[in-house]
Amino acid sequence: MTLNYLLKTALIGLKTNKSRAILTILGITIGITAIITVMSLGKGAQNLILGQVQGIGAKVIAIAPGRQPEGMTDFASVFTDSLRAKDLTALERKENVPHLSRIMPVVFGSDTAVYDNNIYRPTIFGVSSMFADIYDAYPSEGVIFSDEEVKSYADTVVIGAKLKDKLFGESQALGQKIKIKGKSFKVIGILPKKGAGSFINFDDAAIIPYTTAQQYIFGIKYFHRLAAEADTEANVDQTVADIKTTLRASHNITDPTKDDFFVETQADAMKTVGTITNVLTLFLAAIAAISLLVGGVGIMNIMLVSVTERTREIGLRKAIGATDANILTQFLLESVILTCLGGILGITFGAAISLLASVVLTKVLNQTWGFTVPLTAVLLGLGVSAFIGLVFGLYPARQASRKSPIEALRYE
């Protein structure tokens, strides 16, 4: 028996019942379409988020208080007040962290902002003048506050596009005064609109000097974050190590497992984002895969019908010399071809849907949503289809191969 001949035979068998074959593979096609779509969109979403994380810059290092939570019961440790002004001073010393190019404290929270009769609840960021450089967020109108203003607890604010819209509508905002938590702030800058698709966007934010934020808005003496940057990408790891050493010294910590802060780089963040999106994608794909199981049962059902219908053919083949294995291979190949056809159709449909979705999402999010059909998804789709054909075709094929030629020839 040659593969060529087997393929020809299988195709004749399938052509004989064209519409039945199409209906049979529909289940597989739908399942694979779902899997490919989920995996492709998942990859697209991942690329988008990773692209934005990457946009933060490879040199950025985030320092947060507390430590990475070790489990569900460990959340309390996240909310600590371990990062203080003396840590900032220590980190700013060149001899402690030689490759640190800049460092900025961040405090944030939410409170009401009022202008005229308009009330809105923006996210309030207390930062330094480095804010624009670090987050690539330059005001489209006006300026950002200066170092002097930060030092002098100035009451100046840079507002996001949405906040501007909510409080001022179409009217002039620059130079106006708004009240945040009852305190008056002068609007000195307005940030351009970034859109909901952005990983970090300050559309909704009121950005004020961190000194003012600590003192008047939040009433705290610590920082929620320290945003730092290494001078070069190559020095990121060294800088992270230096930061840890400096902070441990500042906090009198000798055992690194007792750290009351943690340091995260862009690479760490990307790894986390990657892991989360991968898990989500796989989870969704696994749900989609259930439909494949249903499709597989359909295949088995139709193959059993086909085996019964072709009992005489099986008898004839055996009478003229086909072995059990020959018959088994023939029917198994037929079901594998069926499911693989379903798989190929599913991959095509899935890719088409993803392409369409990427076009739509690009429009809706105002962000480039890359269209990707991961090779792994295609291989997985084909592999799973073939596997289902094998598994669900095995029982019917065995039934066929076990038919005795005499019974089969007598069958009417």
Partner 1 sequence: MSLIKVRNLEKVYQNDSVATSALAGVSFDIKDGEFVAIMGPSGSGKSTLLHVLGFIDDYTGGEYRFDGKTVFDYSKDDIAHVRNQKMGFIFQAFNLLARTSVLDNVKLPLVYSNVPPEKWDEMARAAIESVGLGHRLHHQPSQLSGGEQQRVAIARAIVNNPNVIFADEPTGNLDSRSGGQVMEVIQRLHDEGHTIVLITHETYTAEYAERILRLKDGRVESDVLVEERRRAADHFVK
Q: What does the binding site for partner 1 look like in residue numbers (CB under 8 A)?
A: 1-2, 4-5, 8, 12, 15-16, 312-313, 315-326, 405-406, 409
The secondary element (H helix, E strand) that includes residue 265 is: strand 261-265
The smaller minimum CB distance to partner 1, of residues 231 and 313, is found at 313
The smaller minimum CB distance to partner 1, of residues 225 and 317, is found at 317
Question: Residue with structure tokens 């708004």?
Answer: 178
Shortest Å distance, C-beta 199 to partner 1:
59
Shortest Å distance, C-beta 9 to partner 1:
8
Shortest Å distance, C-beta 409 to partner 1:
7
The smaller minimum CB distance to partner 1, of residues 130 and 314, is found at 314
The smaller minimum CB distance to partner 1, of residues 23 and 406, is found at 406
Question: 226 forms bridges with which residues in the sheet?
Answer: 63, 105
Q: How far is CA 365 from CA 139, 197, 199, 261, 339, in A?
A: 22, 5, 12, 35, 37
- Report the alpha-carbon distance of residue 370 to residue 391 in Å, rounded: 36
DSSP letter assigned to residue 218: I
The smaller minimum CB distance to partner 1, of residues 323 and 376, is found at 323
Q: Which two tokens stand for residue 398?
A: 């065995």
Q: Which two tokens stand for residue 233?
A: 């990408």
The smaller minimum CB distance to partner 1, of residues 46 and 311, is found at 311
Please tell me the chain's helix, strand, coil percentages from 3-state DSSP, rounded to the nearest 5. Answer: 60, 15, 25
Shortest Å distance, C-beta 330 to partner 1:
10
Rg of the chain over all Cα atoms, to the nearest angstrom: 32
For 145, counting Cβ atoms within 10 Å of its Cβ (0-12 exposed, 13-18 middle, 19+ buried), the class is buried
Torsion of CA 206, 209, 211, 214, to 10 degrees: 10
Shortest Å distance, C-beta 335 to partner 1:
19
Count Cβ atoms below 10 Å from residue 260 Cβ, excluding itself. Answer: 16
Provide the pairing of β-strand 261-265 with 225-230. Answer: unpaired
Shortest Å distance, C-beta 6 to partner 1:
9
The smaller minimum CB distance to partner 1, of residues 239 and 311, is found at 311
DSSP letter assigned to residue 191: P
Shortest Å distance, C-beta 324 to partner 1:
7
